[in-house]
Amino acid sequence: MTALFDYLNWIAIGVATLAYFALGALWYSKILFAPKWIAYLKIDVNDPNAKKGMGIMFGGSLLMMFIQSLAIAILAEKLGVVGGWLSGIKIGAFVGCCFCSSTIAVNYFYEKKPLGLFLINAGYAIAGNVIAGIIICSWR
């Protein structure tokens, strides 16, 4: 099984995963989108139950970001995407728009979530995939 993925740069995938995760700390902070995100979701930040399960949320998020970064690395390799940061922007935007944000949109249609919430969450997915793509495609 390991021979199947031995062509991948695992350090780049790990760094891309951590960079994507770190972007979330900024994206969902008071500096950027936390106030609107909290308002859209009607979260009571003073409710002690609002913080329960944070370890599972963060751990699960990190795992999903690893899977996305791994997928970007596999796609880049299999499609022969070379060219450094510009190629990373392209493949990251492709994955972020075509897979992540479109999936979020379908769910939000049925859940009748506000457009603003979609823009925050899909914007994060696109930006995170672009950052992961840049790291993976530049680190060859």
Full 3-state SS string of 110-138: HHCCCHHHHHHHHHHHHHHHHHHHHHHHH
The DSSP-derived string for 28-72 is TSTTTTHHHHHHHHT--TT-GGGGTTHHHHHHHHHHHHHHHHHHH
Mean pLDDT of the chain: 94
Q: Name the residue ranges covered by the structural domains of the chain.
A: 2-138
Share of the chain above pLDDT 70, in %: 99
pTM, 2 dp: 0.92
pLDDT above 60 for 1 = no
Mean pLDDT, range 31-47, rounded to an integer: 94
The rounded distance, in Å, linking the Cα atoms of 140 and 12 is: 8
Mean pLDDT, range 83-107, rounded to an integer: 95
Q: For residue range 46-77, list pLDDT tens digits in order.
A: 888 888 888 999 999 999 999 999 999 999 99
